[in-house]
Structure 1
């Protein structure tokens, strides 16, 4: 037999439309596909197949999932059906006669269950957990919600959990392997100490509700705000969603709500929203999107990320991943400075419900942002806007939904559908300006085209490389650094493909310890070298200043290029209204630079003089 986790992975990857489509001619009808039933003489199409769910015949009553179909139609037994689908989808099955024969998985499950119970007991202790309970009460997390999610408390002690585990026969090597304790070079004795100290503990559970990892949040202002478990044989963060075990049934009725963090999720649950999941501190992955679709049976997904620049980027990245899996993402706009947690705390459930009711599909959301920035009022702006919308249109796998989106874009940009469809057939261009999506391809790098190695050596200097070096070395504050960096710049601000790809990798997985799949060979090698470098205490002490200076230089470069573009557009147009709009945009750029303390370089001063002369 195979493990439950592998079985669920096969289920999640099974494409029932593709499997049944080999035997039955299926035609799309709304969100389903219709055809003639293969189980009885069917004169008219009465056989419905729903992606991510199953099939049902309205004539003979036959119904089931992909496994059932293969058993009933092709005469396979259950394990043969599992192997058939695994072979089609690339899942490598590791079969054992009994689950008990995988002692490591069983052991880690047992340790995680012990840790969860121990953290819960610490929170419940009248004295030990008082400060944490008071904190959760202030955040609106009542006792019922704490119990439902197994929330606990890790005392602010160096070896309290380690000692408790040892008393139950759990040794240091086991705890180190699971990331529950760690070593420090600053400790002369070399003894490990508790990974989680002085933190509210959130157990991460699989779809069956078993604890497989933990996230710990510091109380009131400490750094880093969150510490998360490392990956283990029972936990791969890109394949799980926080809260999924409790939300999946409600998601089938109400669709899914996607938030960024533990506190957002449990705060919404305390307010009565039970269809909420979170992506465990990484950019949303395809595996997580498939969980929502296949096991949660959701079709519509409301994205409730922060409304700042970093939140917008995350929203667009998540939307493209969801669209690629056939889901329909909707963007929820929250008031500036608010997230789901703070909004519910301050204004209650009804306030959030009003914002949920105003959710709009992701293409309308992008169009609204572009319109607010004045990009839809000129021919050049419309051309530029289409470039920014094409990645999302390309990501949309549902043909019906893609057709709707093309119609929306054509209507708002005043273009013919055929023009947009022709653009979709062309090779993708690199996006500019509007926060980009993770699925946006980049141009081939000079290294991959066989350029001299000297160009590669130059990529290891400058502000972009400084940022990457600090992110690689300062692991304790990497989350904090990334939050600060993404307020001002994104991957598109890095000057070459390896730097851009490596930065995107840090954004997607702030806890990474080695190159991820999907990086080209050169970027993977550079990232490996970065992560292998020994941290310099002096450099880490000045990391904040170095990051600020490097980010400022990249922002200044962006402003230079944008000012050049505006100046060329001003010189090329004879339209008085367009010239006035461009001049005002130049003025806005100058204000943006001044607001963030960037010193004007000579080139920008030249542009500033141009603005003054043409404004007279």
Structure 2
């Protein structure tokens, strides 16, 4: 396995990989971005091309390219290995045959086949004649149907079930995929008692960022009392979680990064129509308000979104539900409003006049301005009760804006529109902010903080990592006069790297991290990622400081580590002394007291 992992790392640069997910900016010899794993305003996520690692100084996540893919895609190591092997063209040995048989991979294969099957039915089967007429009436072209693999599920109980079983897929996996429903008393060995979830529906495959089909949305073709809802989605599965799905993300991500903007629409047809006129940075939340998981996906590519709303009661309600999460995450949100008479949604607007839609996107207003316009529309502000109602509703939205500067801006705008003093509004806003403090606190990260308090681990462990980081980053050999020994390090990883460092400097001299890290990658590759992260932290914090200041800082850290070690040792000895006293072992008590006294004099 190590040969395959090494070959993948040789073929794939971590900066290039992460740049497919995040907009990276050069920062000295490294790269930085806003962290995709926690909310932050100021970038604290660093990527090192030299060390082939990433590290976030806000949430402390870090590792190599495999770690990154595991974290951002929610995969285990075997799945990340297969994904990156496919990406780089590295052939996995038989040892990894079980990777292809994992449940997620089996479900992906079932969904891929089902999507092709639905598409083939729509394009060629006589049973889909009415469905073909419908998609033609909706203006869907052959090219659009092929690009998005729009299909049709026949109005039969077991059409897909039979096709999947004939293809050789296991019935239990088919049920787990959500495509097939199991009746009570169904028997897997006979295949009886199972039926299709999607029947008589236009099928829209939902893909992940890699373009793999993870689920479906089915729109009913002919509504009847027995047909269920107008839209039916794949249920929760190992692949599909509606709260994290964005329809069209696979086709939108590249342009979203290029344009530094993502357009959010409501339905699949809106995405397809936008794509057909060259606007590819468009995704649909598929009938749900934006969730935290969806916002996290969006923030991989941009911090700016433009959202299409209907300017009616339902549209405003949708705006409030979904935009709260977006605003709290630090996204810049603008609202797209389609002019009256130009269509009720992007799909209709584009079919009438695509130029109008493009202008509506360009003219999108700040989400708070959208709230103001809708709430104050046709409201008689001469009546005190209307002023209070408008203030209550709009202050609730202003309180959700993370930036104090922007809150003040909208407070002044509200005071002007209502014709009231800003102090009265500020008092009401302060009460809202106090009540909402646990929910609308500022995002974590964005400020430099002492490395020893970054994570909820022992101070001794974190001090050890920081000391080792300076050792490695600035080529400071661990000479005896430093008074360090591996017994001071409580972390097995730090202790092991320290011993490797001592071994290295008995044979070599170096002034940068590169040679030692290269040596470590060869001798103990399992220690490399951690050591490289410590070095990257040290470089980030100390690279702009003079050498003498770094040495003074390092000496302070060593002194703190020794004090922490002594404190821990004293606590341990005190407990041992008490145990020896309870056991009446006078000789052991005296021996331990001597050790305690020795530590006190150090």
**Offset of residue 162 of structure 1:** 0.8
Match of 2:48 among 64, 68, 91: 68
**Greater CA radius of gyration, 1 or 2?**
2
2:239 aligned with 1:237? no
Distance 1:387 1:271, change over 3 A: same
Give, in whole Å, the separation in 2 of the partners of 1:116 and 1:85.
Answer: 29
Cα deviation digits, residues 349-405 of structure 1 (max 9, x gap): 123234334432121112112222415434443333222122322322345544443
Q: Does 1:284 align with 2:290?
A: yes
1:119 maps to 2:124: no
CA distance in 1, matches of 2:31, 2:172: 53
**Paired positions, count:** 392
SS, match of residue 156 in structure 2: coil
**Structure 1 stretch displaced more, 143-152 or 274-283:** 274-283
8 Å CA contact 1:306–1:339 kept in 2: the answer is yes
- Aligned partner of 1:324 in structure 2 is 328
Gaps of 5+ in 1: 18-31, 40-46, 55-62, 432-438, 442-616
State the partner residue of 1:144: 143
Give me the whole-angstrom Cα distance separating, in 2, the residues matched to 1:237 and 1:66.
31
For residue 203 of structure 1, report the CA deviation from its aligned partner.
0.5
Q: Are 1:314 and 2:318 counterparts? A: yes
Residues 147 and 412 (structure 1), Cα distance of their counterparts in 2 relative to 1, 3 Å cut: same
Task: Find the aligned partners of 1:302 and 1:375 in 2 and give their Cα distance.
Answer: 30
1:16, 1:65 within 8 Å by CA — same for their partners in 2?
Answer: no
- Take 1:38 and 1:326, find their aligned partners in 2: how far apart are those partners? 26
Does residue 110 (structure 1) correspond to residue 109 (structure 2)? The answer is yes
Give the alignment of 1:482-521 within 5 angstroms: none
Contact preservation (8 Å) 1:387, 1:429: no
Q: Is the 8 A contact 2:333 2:366 kept in 1?
A: yes
Partner of 1:293: 299
The equivalent position to 1:394 in structure 2, one of 382, 388, 399, is: 399
Change (3 A) 1:358 1:91: closer
- What is the Cα-based RMSD across aligned positions, in Å? 4.5
Residue 269 of structure 2 corresponds to residue 270 of structure 1: no
8 Å contact from structure 2 (residues 328, 440) kept in 1: no
Aligned position for 2:217: 215
CA contact (8 A) 2:200 2:221 kept: yes
Residue 419 (structure 1) shift: 4.9
Would you say the 8 A contact 2:335–2:364 is kept in 1?
Answer: yes
Q: 1:290 to 1:75 in 2, by over 3 A?
A: closer
Give per-residue Cα distances to partners, 1:229-251, cap 9 Å, x unaligned: 01111121211200011011122
State the alpha-carbon separation in 1 of the partners of residues 252 and 174 from structure 2: 30
Cα 1:420/1:263, change in 2 over 3 Å: same
Q: Is 1:80 aligned to 2:63, yes or no?
A: yes
CA shift for structure 1 position 283: 1.9
Name the residue aligned to 1:412.
Answer: 417
C-alpha distance in 2 between matches for 1:149 and 1:306: 25
Match of 1:227, SS state, is strand
Identify the match of residue 227 of structure 1 among 226, 232, 236. Answer: 232
Could you tell me whether the CA contact under 8 Å between 2:33 and 2:45 is conserved in 1?
no
C-alpha distance in 1, partners of 2:128/2:48?
50
- Is the CA contact 1:145–1:270 (under 8 Å) kept in the aligned structure 2? yes
**What SS class does the counterpart of residue 157 from structure 1 fall into?**
coil
Residue pairs, 1:363-374, within 5 angstroms: 363-374=368-379
Compared with structure 1, are the counterparts of its residues 386 and 16 closer, same or farther at alpha carbon in structure 2 (3 Å cutoff)? farther
Distance change >3 Å, CA 404–CA 172, structure 1 → 2: same
Q: How far apart, in 1, do the equivalents of 2:53 and 2:160 lie?
A: 54
Contact 1:67–1:82 under 8 Å retained in 2? no
Aligned to 1:162: 161
Instruction: Find 2:193's aligned residue among 191, 204, 207.
Output: 191
For the 8 Å contact 2:47–2:54, the answer to whether it is kept is no
Separation of aligned partners in 1, 2:252 and 2:23:
24
- 3-state SS of the aligned residue for 1:332? strand
Equivalent of 2:366 in 332, 346, 361? 361
Q: Which residue of 1 aligns with 2:203?
A: 201
The 2-side partners of 1:49 and 1:416 are apart by 43
Aligned CA distance change for structure 1 residues 368 and 64 (closer, same or farther; 3 Å): closer
Unaligned runs of 5+ in 2: 6-13, 38-42, 83-95, 442-602
TM-score, with structure 2 as normaliser: 0.56
Give the Cα–Cα distance (whole angstroms) in 2 for the partners of residues 114 and 72 of structure 1: 37
Give the drift of 1:411: 3.2
2:309 matched to 1:305? yes
Which deviations, in whole Å up to 9, do the C-alpha atoms of 1:312-339 show, x marking residues without a partner? 2112222222111211222223337822
Contact 1:258 1:276 (8 Å CA) reproduced: yes
1:90 CA drift (Å): 12
> How far apart are the structure 1 equivalents of 2:252 and 2:423?
41
1:567-607 Cα distance to aligned partner (Å, 9 max, x none):
xxxxxxxxxxxxxxxxxxxxxxxxxxxxxxxxxxxxxxxxx
Query: Secondary structure of 1:395's partner?
Result: coil
Q: Is the 8 A contact 1:153 1:200 kept in 2?
A: yes
Provide the residue aligned with 1:178 in structure 2. Answer: 177
Higher relative contact order (CA 8 A, sep 6+): 2
Residue in 2 that maps onto 1:252: 257
Question: Structure 1 residues 195, 401: closer, same or farther in 2, change over 3 A?
Answer: same
CA distance in 2, matches of 1:16, 1:343: 31
The answer on whether the counterparts of 2:350 and 2:357 sit within 8 Å (CA) in structure 1 is yes
Partners of 1:430 and 1:440 within 8 A in 2: no
What SS does the corresponding residue of 1:321 show, helix, strand or coil? helix
Q: Tell whether the 8 Å contact from 1:204 to 1:243 is kept in structure 2 after alignment.
A: yes
SS of alignment partner, residue 234 of structure 1 = coil
Tell me if the contact between 2:267 and 2:287 (Cα under 8 Å) persists in the aligned partners.
yes
Cα distance change of structure 1 residues 90 and 386 upon mapping to structure 2, 3 Å threshold: farther
Over 3 Å counting, the alpha-carbon distance change for 1:72 and 1:204 in structure 2 is closer
TM-score by length of 1: 0.55
What's the CA shift for 1:78? Answer: 10
Moved more, 89-98 or 421-430: 89-98
Give, in whole Å, the separation in 1 of the partners of 2:380 and 2:288. 31
